[in-house]
Amino acid sequence: MASSHNAPTPDYAELHCISNFSFLRGASHPEELVTRAIELGYQAIAITDECSLSGVVRAHMAAKGQAIKLIIGSEFILEDNTHFVLLARDRKGYGQISKLITQARRVAEKGSYLLKRADLTELNPEHCVALWIPPADLHTIDSEALVWLNQVFPKYLWIAAELFLTHNDKQRLKQLKELSSQTHIALCAAGGVHMHCKERKPLHDILTGIRLGKAVSELAFDTFPNSEHYLRPKAKLAKIYPRKLLQETTKISQLCDFSLSELRYEYPSEIVPPTHSAQSWLTHLVAEGTQRRWPQGVSKKVSDLIQHELRLVEELSYAPYFLTVYDIVQFARSQNILCQGRGSAANSVICFCLGITEVDPERMNLLFERFISKERDEPPDIDVDFEHERREEVIQYIYKKYGRDRTALAATVITYRTKSALRDVGKALGMSLDQVDRLAKSVNWWQQGQFDEDELRGLGFNPHSPVLKMLLAAVSEILGFPRHLSQHVGGFIISEGLLSELVPIENAAMPERTVIQWEKDDLEAIGLLKVDVLALGMLTAIRKALSYINDYAPKPIAFKDIPAEDPGVYEMIQRADTVGVFQIESRAQMSMLPRLKPANYYDLVIEIAIVRPGPIQGDMVHPYLNHRRNGTEENYPSEAVKKVLQRTLGIPIFQEQVMQLAIVAASFTPGEADQLRRAMAAWKRKGGLEKFEDKLLRGMQENGYDQAFAQRIFSQIKGFGDYGFPESHSASFALLAYASSWLKCYHPAAFTCALLNSQPMGFYGASQLVIDAKAHGVTVLPIDVNKSFYDCVLEIDRRKKKIALRLGFRLVKNLSENSAKAISETRKQTPFSSVQELMDRVGLNKADLESLAAADALESLSGNRHRAHWQAQGAEPVSSTLLKTEEDKTNVMLRTPSEIEDIENDYDNVGLTLRRHPVALLRDYLYGRHAFQTRQLHDIPNGGLAKVAGLVIGRQRPGTASGVIFVTLEDESGQANVVVWPKIAEEQSKVLLQSQLLMVSGVVQKDEGVLHLIARKLEDLSFCLGELKIKSRDFH
């Protein structure tokens, strides 16, 4: 023993360590484990989550460049409870583990796995190290499992001795030593680590409680007796384990020589014809595209850009990536599915030539490094939006083309957020369901943020109670902990070989969908290709609108034929007449339009980007508007800066401008500038902007810029924070905003029809869309069983040259699509003359008939809603009578529905009414209360007092508006925008949040064509509405 006191502490490699990606088992993030292991001077650490590699990329990033080896492995518990850990020795071993996880996960339900002994027989034992984890209970140690494992891994199997200062450590070690000498399988130390530091023990207990559905006080022996499952200092380990066992760990770690950096992504090969290389094929396609885009010949600027891009693409070998996306886009086009690339891809001329994006590089100031950068060494990210109703066709194409073993969706790690954390932790701490519920529900958009003591008291809690302190402490720790894997909205990963050997694949919640165990950031970090196949409702609406227009237009029109820069369209946009238009229809956008007055495409690009939290918080909006109004610009300290900022009058509005400024003024390389962009996006959460601050200020100083300018630029960068908007993104969106504006301006009926047929999407519901269409002179006809179809349609009277919009059955609540289609199909022969006949011929059931009656779609057969219901209720299916059913001719005394009843039922069953606006019915009463129509507000001078009442159709509390709530009221004359300051909102919160019909007294504020009513007094008039239910759209 004496010798061990003098000997230096032996090196140690932790070989069994689970992170919080073993959901609800591990109590530390992978990064925390790696960082702590580095601090403790471990030689290596293995991340061995249970049947998962989800956390390894994060661990890999944390270990990158540090003095520690990261071993990749996984822990498994077989069906017969045999417990072992596999560690990858090399790339093949990694592939085997990944494949094994895939195999185990694919045969089980989402979130679980099933592994049998037989599943391991195909493994090549040379490529993995196996550690047998003996059971905790000494009595159940069964050498049979060990013998079997030894047959599978004859050369690289160890017995892991895990000692946790429990009563039987000594006996356990003795027993394992005996087993080792009997079987000639070496013994090694292992930590069975579940947390990086012992202070996480309470959180570990809470996680165990959540996993088992018990309160921590009920856990008894289900949790650990102490906190020894943490990363213990080497000196401490030396006291617990014999020296030899610790030395054995480093020996094992030396056997494992695999790093995630070795993963090489291989692009699918079928996208290149045999006679070409990927690069030559790409060059060929780009050349073709150039001819198509610029038939008159290409400018030198563009030609240089293309060469530059192709060179960089070749250097980084990204050609197959472009070809993969091109192939998908080509498929969509061949099927007439509208699609458009967006995001940083719009910075690329190659993408424009390939038809992936539509942003003309000559109209924009592109920054290719935002898209691909050499320093970043990350694959480019191309997001392609497809029509939301037809995206599935594209997804099926990808599956079919590359096969399910080579394609899967990226995962999204669902993590604990405040509400879910409060619920789960509260339950685990033994709080009653209603208490937990009360706490969790109060963290809604209204209260947003943290609790304060008064709030807690208001909820009936004592803020000083120990349980509450434990709760809040545990909640803040558990925030961000992964809870389960879900599927990414549309990020596909496609590989040349078996994907399961690259990353494990598991089942998603949707049948027939599979997800890999890594999410977007992991893929980016490892450098794997991801193609984003996203869904966009507006593309569906635009395609539909164009097809309706082609039904009556003399000349067919396609998306590309929409005339550019039409002054009429911009005039409409400047009036903020943009209900239904893509992106610029929100309340905030509509308030900005009359001020910014977009007059061309680039103004739209700015409009979209400027109404964002980034520019607002960075205080860029007012300076920009001032310059625009006065025709002035900022003073530029240099020509180079002027070149960057001139297009936005000297105010940096886009992310790209910040990057360019860093390049031209502070001598950043494009790659460094991109790192700056990333740091900007994350600094509020993680910090890390400081190192750029020095570099930026120093660089600008060296280039002769004064301190004040440099500081101003840096503070603007900070203000941008998370929310800076890329110009390229805005440019793609502006195209759709313009196209939808053109449709609204010149074809309002077709546009509204398309929007109605693409719901749910956008900012406004069917009711507001129809009201707006009517205001634009569109004739809207009610749903009629003898005239409507499933979709809303245009009724074209060619003789009178009139177009009307007929509402479709899709708006009828509770009517199935099949029934609706059967009605229009059956009606082709001859129209229906009675409700009974409708039932007989179409084979509808009573519920369908009653849904139609409720929607007033039977009015042409029955006269009114009450009679329609009576007849629908009395109709009998043919099968229930021997003879042909007789029409119910009984003349019963039924009341005619009142107008308000009809309106109520319209809203209730169709979601909109074509009758009078409900507020119109109350107009006399409202005049009696001295309330104006919303339209009359424009007649009141700025600063004048006014009172209006209307249905609350929206409440917004933007994060940037420091507690101000914006309410949109609607009456028969239009809409009013009400601003409620925090003080009023607080004082009158009940009325503000609960009113359906709200009367507001306040002061009229007019500014550059934008009218607001600043609320002073609110009054709930909902009682006037009776049964009418209007659903407000409340946004954060």
Partner 1 sequence: MAKPRLVQAPLPLEYTEQTPTRRVANHKAGPSHLWLAIQFPNIAIEISHPQAKTSASVTAQTVKGRLVVCSTSALAEETGIHIGMAVNAAYALCPGVHVFEHDEKRVANTMTELAAWAMQYTSYVSLYNSNTLLLEIRGSLKLFGQLENIKTSIKSQLQLQGHDTILSCTPSPSASYLLTCFGAEADIFDTDQLRSALGDIPIAVLDVNQKTKKRLANIGTQTLRDLWRLPKPELRKRFGNDFVLYLDHLTADSPEVQKKFAPKATFTADSVFYWGIEDCESLLLEVKKLVLKFIDYLRKTDLCTSSYRFNLYHFAEKDLTGIDINLRKADRDVDYIFSVLEKYFDKLQLKGKIYRLELCVDKLEYFHTKSETMLENTFHEETAIYSGQNKALSELIDQLQNRLGSAHITGIGLVNDYRPEHAYQFSSSATNELSHYRPDRPLALLPEASSLNVDVSLISGPERLQTAWWSENKINRDYYIAKDKAGRRLWIYHDLSKRQWFIHGLFA
- Residues sharing a CB contact under 8 Å with residue 73, sequence separation 6 or more, in sequence order: 15, 46, 47, 48, 85, 86, 87, 88, 97, 129, 256
Mask of contacts with partner 1, 159-198, x by CB under 8 A? -----xxxx--x---------------------------x
Q: Nearest approach, Cβ of 166 to partner 1 (angstroms)?
A: 6
In angstroms, the CA 891 to CA 867 distance is: 10
> For residues 564 and 608, is the Cβ–Cβ distance under 8 A?
no
Residue type, 677: R
- Judged by beta carbon, residue 218 or residue 375, the one nearer partner 1 is 218
| 83-88 vs 44-47, strand pairing mode | unpaired
Q: Nearest approach, Cβ of 864 to partner 1 (angstroms)?
A: 9
> For residues 594 and 629, is the Cβ–Cβ distance under 8 A?
no
Scan residues 509-568 and list those touching partner 1 (CB under 8 A). Answer: none
Among 512, 890, 928, 1023, binds partner 1 (CB under 8 A): 890
In angstroms, the CA 916 to CA 166 distance is: 78
Among 802, 894, 982, 987, binds partner 1 (CB under 8 A): 894
Contacting range for partner 1; rule: CB under 8 A; set: 174-182, 453-461, 812-820, 918-926: 453-461
> For residues 741 and 581, is the Cβ–Cβ distance under 8 A?
yes
Tell whether the torsion through CA atoms of 165, 166, 167 and 171 is positive or negative: negative
The verdict on 895 binding partner 1 (CB under 8 A) reads: yes
HEC profile of 582-612: CCCCCHHHHHHHHHHCCCCHHHHHHHHHHCC
Q: Nearest approach, Cβ of 212 to partner 1 (angstroms)?
A: 13
- Judged by beta carbon, residue 374 or residue 813, the one nearer partner 1 is 813
The verdict on 873 binding partner 1 (CB under 8 A) reads: yes
- Judged by beta carbon, residue 25 or residue 520, the one nearer partner 1 is 25
Report the SS3 class of residue 247.
Answer: helix
Contacting range for partner 1; rule: CB under 8 A; set: 350-358, 435-443, 560-568, 621-629: 435-443
In angstroms, the CA 833 to CA 820 distance is: 17
The verdict on 957 binding partner 1 (CB under 8 A) reads: no
Among 140, 144, 434, 889, binds partner 1 (CB under 8 A): 434
- Judged by beta carbon, residue 287 or residue 433, the one nearer partner 1 is 433
Neighbours of 419 (CB within 10 A): 15
- Judged by beta carbon, residue 203 or residue 794, the one nearer partner 1 is 203
In angstroms, the CA 412 to CA 485 distance is: 6
Residue type, 937: L
The verdict on 896 binding partner 1 (CB under 8 A) reads: yes
- Judged by beta carbon, residue 311 or residue 990, the one nearer partner 1 is 990
- Residues sharing a CB contact under 8 Å with residue 56, sequence separation 6 or more, in sequence order: 30, 47, 49, 70, 72, 260
The DSSP code for 225 is: S
The verdict on 438 binding partner 1 (CB under 8 A) reads: yes
Q: Nearest approach, Cβ of 994 to partner 1 (angstroms)?
A: 9
- Residues sharing a CB contact under 8 Å with residue 636, sequence separation 6 or more, in sequence order: 642, 645, 646, 650
Instruction: For Cα atoms 400, 401, 402, give the angle at the middle one, nearest 5 degrees.
Output: 100
Residue by residue, DSSP assigns 821-883 as HHHHHHTTTS---SHHHHHHHHT--HHHHHHHHHTTTTHHHHSSHHHHHHHHHH---GGGSSS
The DSSP code for 388 is: T
The verdict on 869 binding partner 1 (CB under 8 A) reads: yes
Q: Nearest approach, Cβ of 227 to partner 1 (angstroms)?
A: 5
- Judged by beta carbon, residue 170 or residue 1036, the one nearer partner 1 is 170
Total binding residues for partner 1 by CB under 8 A?
A: 50
Mask of contacts with partner 1, 218-237, x by CB under 8 A? --xx-x-xxxx---------
In angstroms, the CA 576 to CA 584 distance is: 8
The verdict on 866 binding partner 1 (CB under 8 A) reads: yes
In angstroms, the CA 533 to CA 787 distance is: 38
Burial of 544 (0-12, 13-18, 19+ CB in 10 A): buried
Mask of contacts with partner 1, 792-831, x by CB under 8 A? ----------------------------------------
Neighbours of 118 (CB within 10 A): 8
Mask of contacts with partner 1, 135-164, x by CB under 8 A? -----------------------------x
Q: List 131's β-bridge partners, or say none.
A: 85, 158
- Judged by beta carbon, residue 212 or residue 697, the one nearer partner 1 is 212
Question: Which pair of tokens denotes residue 477?
Answer: 């720790």
Among 458, 497, 556, 982, binds partner 1 (CB under 8 A): 458
Q: Nearest approach, Cβ of 857 to partner 1 (angstroms)?
A: 14
Mask of contacts with partner 1, 977-1016, x by CB under 8 A? -------------x--------------------------
Among 261, 892, 927, 944, binds partner 1 (CB under 8 A): 892
- Judged by beta carbon, residue 170 or residue 560, the one nearer partner 1 is 170
Contacting range for partner 1; rule: CB under 8 A; set: 11-19, 58-66, 314-322, 849-857: 849-857
Q: Nearest approach, Cβ of 866 to partner 1 (angstroms)?
A: 4
> For residues 135 and 116, is the Cβ–Cβ distance under 8 A?
no
> For residues 492 and 410, is the Cβ–Cβ distance under 8 A?
yes
Mask of contacts with partner 1, 361-400, x by CB under 8 A? ----------------------------------------
Among 217, 277, 450, 779, binds partner 1 (CB under 8 A): 217
Neighbours of 724 (CB within 10 A): 27
Scan residues 17-76 and list those touching partner 1 (CB under 8 A). Answer: none
Among 216, 737, 780, 912, binds partner 1 (CB under 8 A): 216
Under the rule (CB under 8 A), what is the footprint of partner 1? 164-167, 170, 198, 201-202, 205, 216-217, 220-221, 223, 225-228, 429-430, 433-434, 437-438, 441-442, 458-460, 467, 470, 850, 853-854, 865-866, 869-870, 873-874, 888, 890, 892-897, 901, 990
